[in-house]
Structure 1
Amino acid sequence: MKLTKKLNLVLMTALLCISPIVTTMPAQITSAAHIEKNKLGFIGSPYIYKPSGKRYRYYNQIAKHLFTDTDGDGYSYLDGNDTTPITSFTGKTITIKGQKYYEIAKNAYIKAANVLTLNGKNIKKGKLTLNHKSKLYTKNGHQTNKELAADSIISYAGKVKKKTTCPKYFYYIGTNKYAYLPTKKINGHDYYALKNHLYVNAQNVGTINGEIARLNGVTYATVTKSSRTQTISNGLTNHKLVKGQKIKIDMAVAPWAEDFDGYIYHLHNYPKEYIDEGYIKIRNDLPIAGYNDMAYTYFKPINGNQITTYKVDGSTIAQTLTIKDNNQLTVDGKFYLWVEHDHQAELFYHILHSDSDSDQTADETIPDYSNSFVKASDIKITGGVKLASLNTAQDAQADNVIATDANKQELRQLFADGQQNLANAYTDATLKQNYNNALSIAASVIRSTTASRGDVKEATWLLKTTEDQLSDLYFEPWS
């Protein structure tokens, strides 16, 4: 496969948990001795129901009256914790279609599945809530005649454990800290053990101990409103999703936009595409990543804070790159280059030039810095997007021949379109400069009579990549 045909593989992400940003951490219930009697705390933002069990529209007069506080943000909060809203409870409960509800006002009820605390006490401890209708099974995998409705609350068997690496099923308890309830494998599926010696499918569990249960893997979402997908930086793509369509998703992402409330979801089969949560209904909650985790690949030198940089031909650049204040730099490509001096192919990463580089380098005028590389053996990838190698060592060796005019045809067309693309770009100045530098490099390679086929492929990759970055990136890559 050609180097330039593999661009869509660059942003493939490993399905690993990424710790959420602070604002997305789950509520930790603290001492609530001062909480008034008959107060309820919720999991998320609950709907209000009528006595018939029919849901009110969320933004109705009852909700406005009950949930608007002096700050105008819609809720009062448990012990000042801005993630656990509370409201008054009349002291009465009713059962609607077999499910328990708490009365919060006349003709207004909250489903018990959405209640986390009663008078400050966690009433979900030791319990699971279901997000789907679920059959129950024996330990041998035999289906029983028992079936539980969605939002049922059931007691589990066993003990929750903690880890610093992300399990398949988990909930967050802190940064890089996860809690999980051990599962049992039955007929190839994961099940939780219940107090009644029966088992329920782990994928049908919405909360554990009142915390949102998450699947570290791939799940489905149903499109509720037709829409186009978007890039990580909110630009629309040409990929249309239609109402009722099922799609695979693997990550919830908190976007960079400060005015965006909620998540966008990463499409599993489309590495660079996302969908706003307002257009889908998800099957399972997923790990949470921040924008930077899904947009950039971070690295540090293995030894010290300085690192040698290289040109596309594998020769060294005069000045070393100095990384200050324990910052992590970013790379955007991984491939083999043919190093003529050593007469062998070696694995390199391409450095993503940013507007912060003037603070990182000893010399802002390093030659060819806009197209410089670091050896894979000199660095450690510390987080972000997992990059796949765009070629092999054999490819690099085979491409170490003089390029023909036919080899340069695609690069010529990209260069011809370049100035118009640059003029139409509305983006960060550094991203524009990167693209402009890529155009200059392309022009040099096109004119050269000694450029190798590998040089042409790399220049083509660079031009395509920097063009994509004009719309795909919001430049804040330093962690």
Structure 2
Amino acid sequence: MKTYIGTSSQTSSGDIKMYYSIGNGYYINAKNVGLPNGPANLTIDHNSYVYNYKGQRKKAKTIKKNTTLEVPGEFEEINSPKKFYSEYLSSSGIKFVSWQKRHRFWLKYKTIHGKQYYRIGKNHYIKANNVRYLDGKPIYVDKKETTVVLKSGQQIVNRNSNRESGRYYKKGKKLVVDKYISTFRGYPDDFWFKTGVGDSVFYHVKGTKDDWVWGRVSEVDVKRHIEPVNVFNQKNTTVQAKPGITKAAIYNSHGEQEYDDKFLKTTNYNQAGYYPTVVKELKYIYVPSSKKVELFYRIKNDDFMQFFVNKEGKGVGSDPRINDFYVKAEDFEYVAGPKLTPVNTPAEAEKDK
């Protein structure tokens, strides 16, 4: 059976507080469950009339706001967005880092005279626009814009200049927004865009040049969510060390290892203190010590801090001399951002040795 507790409030991830009863007074958090194999359910946030298959209103009781209905049909996982759909999380199984993958799912709806309806019984339908949650999870729409309501007053942020504007929107202000972005650094594109207090997520106010508001659940109420975009991943390619590799030797453009006592500190999701490695180039280089051509990633510090360790893996701090260097690509795996292709060929690297 399912038991809904506190359906009027949301968790920091945007889900309502929903639990499954497993008997004897014990419950499990529905957030930790994927798609159920039992009856589908939906929760409405608006008093709803009942319609027939022709879209004509039936003589039936109005379904009250905040009602959760068990309805015919099953939730199905989908690869691409539908007009109305939702998402659930699957745990990555990672010990230290809390990130989860997004999975889209939907409940089939019927389009009548251009409007969508969910079937709730034999020849009984309600408008899809009155439904707020599918299986207790917020609904997304396949659109470029949505509406948010501010839960508290907010100072407008100008993201391009990275400054607060000095202008404010009042609590209760309703805004049409046309972009939802995250500035998470170096996480996969399927990373779940949490909306907790410490996360950098923003909505762009439609019709403005550079007005943004915080997108945290604690500060905005959103009935229909739109897909977020990771702006960091649009410009930067990030890699992570393969499991078990904690340091990478530093090479120069001639394939020579430059330091015996300094190595790039590498971390992956299986380690505490994960920090992505931003790479600028993929290049074949002839390595004199192995007498063969190998593939390397080029790393430039720029404004991305790199950390270094000694042979024993203990931190040695930053070094201003180590600003532009190479690491073997075989020690790393792609995480996010534009996929790089080698700037040269093995034959060209052999020729340039």
Q: What is the TM-score of this pair, normalised by structure 2?
A: 0.48
Q: Which has the larger radius of gyration?
A: 1
Name the structure where strand makes up a greater proportion of residues.
2
Q: What is the TM-score of this pair, normalised by structure 1?
A: 0.38
Name the structure where helix makes up a greater proportion of residues.
1
